[in-house]
Amino acid sequence: MRSLIYFVATFVAALILGIGSAWYMIERGSPLTTTKVGPWDGWISAGNPNADFYTRAHVARSGRLPLTSTVARYFVARTDDDGGLLSSDCEYLVVGGALNARWWSLALYDEYGGLIANPSSRYSYNSEEMLRHSDGTFHVTLSRNARPENWLPSGETDQHLVLMLRAYGLRETDSSGIGIIPNDRLPKIERKSCG
């Protein structure tokens, strides 16, 4: 009797461990598949026909058709710099500088990847329209209410947020031609206030 309980317990533990680890490595990535810089995750081989199984599963689950990483890179942030989940209840300041890319865009989504309705129909800022300071840096505020400079509205409903930075035609690449953004170039996401 006791050995049966041990067997069942072993099996249940294995199921949780096996599926849990698979889910985590597909959903959030691991050092094998993703570049993690602060709050940003970038899948190194997304869209690449030679990609590993974790990356392929991630792309299939995402419902997206990303460009292969030699053409464009995508970085996703679900948290601020301190690791707190991005929430429409808080106000954030995103600060970044020039990226060595032909074109790039910073867009805000709800946690399911949907654009957030707002009166000014503003969902993103790209390299051509972002207002910049004289030193080349930009400030974007994520908040419910209108803010000066670059404002990405986070909507009226209480929800978690996802930021995506996409960069086309990165001029710096690794030996296999995959575009690189130096770590210190990815924008900082600072939480200002909540509630």
Q: What is the footprint of another protein within residues 127-146 (CB under 8 A)?
A: 128-129
> What Rg value do the Cα atoms of the chain yield, rounded?
19
Residue 195 interacts with another protein (CB under 8 A): yes or no: no
Q: What is the footprint of another protein within residues 27-46 (CB under 8 A)?
A: none
Residue 119 interacts with another protein (CB under 8 A): yes or no: no
Q: β-strands 72-77, 138-143: how paired?
A: unpaired
Piece of 86-94, 125-133, 170-178, 181-189 that binds another protein (CB under 8 A): 125-133
Residue 49 interacts with another protein (CB under 8 A): yes or no: yes
Nearest to 33 by CA among 71, 62, 59, 66: 59
Work out how close the CB of 125 gets to another protein at its nearest, in angstroms, rounded to a whole number.
Answer: 8
Beta bridge partners of 190: 93
3-state secondary structure of 62: helix
Give the interface size with another protein as a residue count (CB under 8 A): 61
Whose tokens are 């978690």? That residue is 160
Give whichever of 76 and 93 is closer to another protein, judged by the CB atom. 76
Give whichever of 24 and 194 is closer to another protein, judged by the CB atom. 24
Interacting residue with another protein among 37, 132, 144, 164 (CB under 8 A):
164
Interacting residue with another protein among 85, 169, 177, 194 (CB under 8 A):
169
Structure tokens belonging to residue 102: 């032909």
Measured from the Cβ of residue 130, the count of other Cβ atoms closer than 10 Å reads 17
Work out how close the CB of 96 gets to another protein at its nearest, in angstroms, rounded to a whole number.
Answer: 17
Nearest to 76 by CA among 89, 90, 62: 62
Residue 166 interacts with another protein (CB under 8 A): yes or no: yes
Structure tokens belonging to residue 64: 């997206």
